[in-house]
A and B are shown apart, each in its own frame.
Chain A
Amino acid sequence: MIRMILVLMLMAAPVWAVQPDEVLDDPVLEERAREMSKDLRCLVCRNESIDESNAELARELRILVRERLVAGDTNEQAMNYIVDRYGEYVLLRPQTGGSNLVLWLAGPAMLFLALLTAVFYLRGRAKAPRTAEKKLSEDEQARLKEILDE
């Protein structure tokens, strides 16, 4: 019960996200920081990016991102810096390496398979003998007449 209340309180917290005092003076750097924040997870929230979240930890992460960018990091360097400290869990855009290949390739592979199957099926349909289209049975004819007459 207490756990549920805690959960509800977490999800009910108003979404404040980026505060005015965090915003960088350099609009280009700020834009990059915003882009990066959208790919970073707020670790204490339930499925929110740090860009959307108002949790204290999200705020710290946003400030950290900006510090790294101001220090001259590229987006990639700053991202690696954060992943080194908080783990892969922080990334909302999962990495492409290792077992995650399955995740990224699942869609394209499935599409390829489906298209292949479909082509075989359709070729079969195109060649199927026309006699397969049977005439209606007597029962069905009677029923059809019934429907049409109404």
Chain B
Amino acid sequence: MITELGHFALILAALTALVQGIVPLIGAHKRWPGWMAVAEPAAGMQFLLTMFSFLALTYAFVVSDFSVRLVTLNSHSAKPMIYKISGVWGNHEGSMLLWVLILTIFGATLAWFGGNLPPTLRARALSVQAWVAVAFFAFILFTSNPFLRISAPPFDGDDLNPLLQDVGLALHPPFLYLGYVGLSMAFSFAVAALIEGRVDAAWARWVRPWTLAAWIFLTIGIALGSWWAYYELGWGGFWFWDPVENASFMPWLLAAALLHSSVVVEKREALKSWTILLAILAFGFSLIGTFIVRSGVITSVHAFANDPERGVFILAILLVFMGGALMLFAARASAMEAKGVFSMVSRESVLVLNNILLAVACFVVFVGTIWPLVSEIFFTRKLSVGPPFFNMAFTPFMVLLGIVLPVGAMLPWKRANLARVAKPLLPAFVLALALAGLVWAMQTGRSLLGPVGLFLGAWLVFGAITDLTSRTGRGAFGQRFQRLRRLPRADWGKAVAHAGFGVTIFGIAGLTAWEMEDIRVAYKGEPYTVGAFEFTLQDVRAVQGPNYMSTMADVTVHRNGKFVALVHPEKRVYPVSSMPTTEAAIDYRFLRDVYVVVGDPQSDGGFTMRTYIKPLTNWIWFGCAMMSFGGFLSLSDRRFRVAAGARKAPSAGVPAE
């Protein structure tokens, strides 16, 4: 019963979205306040209906209603409750429902809190948002209905893929979708502005919080996914350049570019049409990502659902929205003339460079991701494009970005003097160089990667600190400290996020350059050494989990004879799906992780053991956390709140032009 109600609610939500897509658009065109006002309750209604539908599906999972096909396929009565709930989006249909739920949340938020927007812009943005929703409601209802029943329900379900039975699944997809879908707001605003024919500083200020929020969520989502892969997949990689990872990374890169270009629109009224284009493309890449994940045209480890019919549907959505938006762009972009005047050396120019590097980096990832497909269709060459390509083709852009960033972040607007900016940065540069030189001298015969990455990381962090301190002017330390505390949150956010980028580079370089690996057959009680650490396999025992059987090893870790940790790597077998998984044991520390994996027993009583020393690994995710925290700081800046609170309904019917 509840399942059917959920199904009906979803259909009603789709119809509401249809109304919201048509009526306010006409209203905005004809300047009819009543028609425009339809958008608000419709957006709220859409959200409530979708929420109900989502909760209905969750309920079916929680009570293990195996008459619902989706629950049978993806759940099991013995599964722990948290995985029953996160299992709702651990499959194609449920995750699409979550996707569209988040879409309606964003729409409703705009309807409820967008009171300061010009009514026509708001009506148009909400109606574009509704069209996106209509497309995805249709996609769910016609190709991926989560509410289908089966006539003869089984006694128990098929269980969720054991790899997905992890807190990672509870957190990673929702954050990622908040990011993907958040970019739809930038898209809706861009299209609304094109219809409106007007892009100005105010527009940029309205769009920026949404883009920033989407970027923050994407950062968190990608970092969570990377961390999940690190501890779950059993050899401690953190990024694989898998098509599905690239699918989330491309919108991230473009969102980062969009954040920076919208600053130029907001402060200087330049780069308008480019910013609009970026907003359209960023969401376009979100859709491409959805297409890659759901269609299975490109081989990936994230085998979600390889259904050609769904692929074609999403491709159609992609073509309609991108084609429509880009045509509108072509017709209207020329109307948006730039106003700001600035010289070649200025903050504006550096932000242009930032955009070029991020956008071209995204382009490289895109070409690499689709090349196997293109090559097979047009050149009949069946080939692979793997991590070696991406590492070579992508990394230079990030290195360039890292080199330029600290200088660019300090350049003044309009017209700048490089020498004047370089002077305060000199200590940061020398310090970073010295650090890298020291490390280079200490390591012998290894690659340059470590020192170079270390230099970049340190340069970015020290550069961010210099940026902050240089804004406090001159005077006694106490005075300057006071001023530092009073700096706008946006400035703090910028510095923290830029430093976070440095910390992440630092971690990646450290891990790639100085990782140690050891593969051997270990015997109980016989210690072995990896790097500075001594490992002893103490015992291997069988443990019964809630829905799995585990072979758990006890391994002690010593350093210079001193006890460091007792870790428990596991090998699990999930009987329902008869899948084995490895659970690596990780001793997380500030400077390094010790990563131990136990394998198959050997005939002579030993066990295969893989042991890694992974230096600076946690810095990768700590840096991502800093980037998103920087984003939050900036989002909480006063000027966004001021803009949000201003203009409390001055006679709602008057258009803003």
Q: Which residue numbers of A lie inside 8 Å of B, CB to CB?
A: 3-4, 7-20, 23, 38-39, 41, 45-49, 52, 87-95, 98-100, 102-104, 106-107, 110-111, 114-115, 118, 121-123, 125-126, 128-130, 132-134, 143, 146-147, 150
Asked whether, in the complex, the Cβ of B163 is within 8 Å of the Cβ of A46, the reply is no
- Contact stretch, chosen from B21-29, B132-140, B178-186, B576-584: B576-584
**Docked pose: A93 CA to B305 CA in angstroms:** 27
A-B contact pairs, 17 of them (CB 8 A): A4-B306, A7-B306, A8-B161, A8-B579, A12-B577, A13-B580, A39-B388, A47-B299, A88-B381, A91-B383, A92-B384, A92-B387, A94-B371, A99-B379, A99-B381, A110-B360, A132-B341
Q: Is B540 interfacial (CB 8 A cutoff)?
A: no
Within the complex, which residue of A20, A87, A143 is in contact with B608, where a contact is CB–CB below 8 Å?
Answer: A20
| Residues of B contacting A92 in the complex (Cβ-Cβ under 8 angstroms) | 384-389
Residue of A nearest to B241 (CB): A47
| Residues of B contacting A12 in the complex (Cβ-Cβ under 8 angstroms) | 161-163, 577, 579-581
| Residues of A contacting B114 in the complex (Cβ-Cβ under 8 angstroms) | none
| Residues of B contacting A19 in the complex (Cβ-Cβ under 8 angstroms) | 519, 608
Q: Is B364 interfacial (CB 8 A cutoff)?
A: yes
Asked whether, in the complex, the Cβ of B389 is within 8 Å of the Cβ of A125, the reply is no
Asked whether, in the complex, the Cβ of A122 is within 8 Å of the Cβ of B383, the reply is no
Residue of A nearest to B161 (CB): A8
| Residues of B contacting A41 in the complex (Cβ-Cβ under 8 angstroms) | 384, 386
Going nearest first, the 3 A-B pairs with the smallest beta carbon separation are A92-B386, A93-B388, A107-B364
Asked whether, in the complex, the Cβ of B363 is within 8 Å of the Cβ of A106, the reply is yes
Which residues of B (289-342) have their CB < 8 Å from a CB of A?
299-303, 305-306, 337-342
The smallest C-beta distance from A88 to any residue of chain B, in angstroms, reads: 5
**Docked pose: A129 CA to B339 CA in angstroms:** 9
Q: A47-B240, A123-B344 are in contact. Are A8 and B303 (CB under 8 A)?
A: yes
**Docked pose: A18 CA to B74 CA in angstroms:** 32
Asked whether, in the complex, the Cβ of B306 is within 8 Å of the Cβ of A3, the reply is yes
Q: A94-B389, A125-B348 are in contact. Are A147 and B642 (CB under 8 A)?
A: yes
Given contacts A8-B161, A11-B301, A12-B581, 7 further A-B contacts (CB under 8 A): A14-B234, A88-B383, A92-B389, A94-B383, A103-B385, A118-B356, A122-B349
| Residues of A contacting B389 in the complex (Cβ-Cβ under 8 angstroms) | 92-94, 103
Q: Is B382 interfacial (CB 8 A cutoff)?
A: yes
**Docked pose: A90 CA to B127 CA in angstroms:** 48
Q: Which residue numbers of B lie inside 8 Å of A, CB to CB?
A: 161-163, 233-235, 237, 240, 242-243, 269-270, 299-303, 305-306, 337-344, 348-349, 352-353, 356, 359-361, 363-364, 367-368, 371, 375, 378-379, 381-389, 392-394, 397, 519-521, 571, 577, 579-582, 599-600, 608, 610, 642-643, 645-647
Asked whether, in the complex, the Cβ of B303 is within 8 Å of the Cβ of A15, the reply is no
Asked whether, in the complex, the Cβ of B388 is within 8 Å of the Cβ of A20, the reply is no
Asked whether, in the complex, the Cβ of A46 is within 8 Å of the Cβ of B519, the reply is no
Q: A92-B386, A103-B371, A150-B645 are in contact. Are A126 and B234 (CB under 8 A)?
A: no
Residue of B nearest to A7 (CB): B303
Residue of A nearest to B385 (CB): A94
| Residues of A contacting B344 in the complex (Cβ-Cβ under 8 angstroms) | 122-123, 126
Residue of A nearest to B608 (CB): A20
| Residues of A contacting B242 in the complex (Cβ-Cβ under 8 angstroms) | 47
**Docked pose: A75 CA to B303 CA in angstroms:** 33
Asked whether, in the complex, the Cβ of A89 is within 8 Å of the Cβ of B384, the reply is yes
Asked whether, in the complex, the Cβ of B356 is within 8 Å of the Cβ of A111, the reply is yes
Asked whether, in the complex, the Cβ of A150 is within 8 Å of the Cβ of B383, the reply is no
| Residues of A contacting B237 in the complex (Cβ-Cβ under 8 angstroms) | 52
**Docked pose: A61 CA to B432 CA in angstroms:** 43
**Docked pose: A17 CA to B51 CA in angstroms:** 44
Asked whether, in the complex, the Cβ of B387 is within 8 Å of the Cβ of A49, the reply is yes
Residue of A nearest to B379 (CB): A99
Asked whether, in the complex, the Cβ of A128 is within 8 Å of the Cβ of B341, the reply is yes
**Docked pose: A143 CA to B387 CA in angstroms:** 52
**Docked pose: A38 CA to B237 CA in angstroms:** 12
| Residues of A contacting B234 in the complex (Cβ-Cβ under 8 angstroms) | 14-15
The smallest C-beta distance from A64 to any residue of chain B, in angstroms, reads: 18
Residue of B nearest to A123 (CB): B344
| Residues of A contacting B360 in the complex (Cβ-Cβ under 8 angstroms) | 107, 110-111, 114
Asked whether, in the complex, the Cβ of B235 is within 8 Å of the Cβ of A52, the reply is yes
Residue of A nearest to B349 (CB): A122
Asked whether, in the complex, the Cβ of B579 is within 8 Å of the Cβ of A126, the reply is no
| Residues of B contacting A99 in the complex (Cβ-Cβ under 8 angstroms) | 375, 378-379, 381
Asked whether, in the complex, the Cβ of A90 is within 8 Å of the Cβ of B384, the reply is yes
Residue of B nearest to A15 (CB): B234
| Residues of B contacting A47 in the complex (Cβ-Cβ under 8 angstroms) | 240, 242-243, 299-301, 384, 386
| Residues of B contacting A130 in the complex (Cβ-Cβ under 8 angstroms) | 341
| Residues of A contacting B269 in the complex (Cβ-Cβ under 8 angstroms) | 133
**Docked pose: A11 CA to B348 CA in angstroms:** 47
Asked whether, in the complex, the Cβ of B368 is within 8 Å of the Cβ of A150, the reply is no
| Residues of B contacting A102 in the complex (Cβ-Cβ under 8 angstroms) | 367
| Residues of B contacting A3 in the complex (Cβ-Cβ under 8 angstroms) | 306
| Residues of A contacting B388 in the complex (Cβ-Cβ under 8 angstroms) | 38-39, 92-93
The smallest C-beta distance from A19 to any residue of chain B, in angstroms, reads: 7
Asked whether, in the complex, the Cβ of A14 is within 8 Å of the Cβ of B582, the reply is yes
| Residues of A contacting B393 in the complex (Cβ-Cβ under 8 angstroms) | 104, 107
Residue of B nearest to A143 (CB): B647
Asked whether, in the complex, the Cβ of B579 is within 8 Å of the Cβ of A9, the reply is yes
Asked whether, in the complex, the Cβ of A133 is within 8 Å of the Cβ of B339, the reply is yes
**Docked pose: A112 CA to B418 CA in angstroms:** 23
| Residues of B contacting A98 in the complex (Cβ-Cβ under 8 angstroms) | 379, 381
| Residues of B contacting A143 in the complex (Cβ-Cβ under 8 angstroms) | 647
| Residues of B contacting A128 in the complex (Cβ-Cβ under 8 angstroms) | 338, 341
Within the complex, which residue of B348, B356, B397, B608 is in contact with A115, where a contact is CB–CB below 8 Å?
Answer: B356
Residue of B nearest to A43 (CB): B384
The smallest C-beta distance from A54 to any residue of chain B, in angstroms, reads: 9
